[in-house]
Amino acid sequence: MGEVFALPYAYAERFPSGLDVVTDAGFSLLALTPDASAESIDDLTLGPDEKVALVLGAEGPGLRAETMDRVGRRVRIPIHGQVDSLNVAAAAAIACYVLGRGRPG
């Protein structure tokens, strides 16, 4: 189980309006997407005290256009070879690892 019980998460009934609670709490939103035009997670820079919330969509269709427009900042995990996307759980794990590197716990 590891950190699964220590990692904060939330479920919002409605998207994208449910994201207002997150931004009102002072979080920056990052939408994960395989879109090649999105910023590489490797190049992402965050402020030392910046709180970040990852927004993930369903496998296959991903996030709806309305949610992507609301989030604004789009981030992708670089993938090599012929693979076009990652399983959402794998993508979340990779993103949490990358975002947590070098940041105070």
Boundaries of every domain in the chain: 2-100
Q: Can you tell me the mean pLDDT for 71-82?
A: 88
pLDDT > 90: percent of the chain = 43
At residue 69, the 3 state secondary structure works out as helix
Of 9-13, 16-20, 76-80, 100-104, minimum mean pLDDT range: 100-104
Q: Can you tell me the mean pLDDT for 63-72?
A: 91
Question: Which residues are registered as beta bridge partners of 74?
Answer: 31
At residue 58, the 3 state secondary structure works out as strand
Q: Which residue stretches of 1-105 are H helix?
A: 20-24, 65-71, 88-100
Exposure string of 25-58, with b = 16+ CB inside 10 Å and e = fewer, is eebebbbbbeeeebeebeeeeeeeeeebbbbbbe
Q: Which CATH number fits domain 2-100: 3.40.1280.10, 3.30.40.10, 3.30.1360.120, 3.40.50.1000?
A: 3.40.1280.10
Q: Can you tell me the mean pLDDT for 51-73?
A: 89
Helices H, strands E: what count in the chain? Answer: 3, 4
Of the candidates 5, 66, 65, 68, the one whose C-alpha atom is nearest the C-alpha of residue 32 is 68
Residue 1 has pLDDT above 60, yes or no: no
> Would you state the pLDDT for residue 103?
58
Residue 8 has pLDDT above 80, yes or no: no
pLDDT > 70: percent of the chain = 90
> Would you state the pLDDT for residue 59?
81
> Would you state the pLDDT for residue 86?
83
Of the candidates 22, 4, 24, the one whose C-alpha atom is nearest the C-alpha of residue 12 is 22
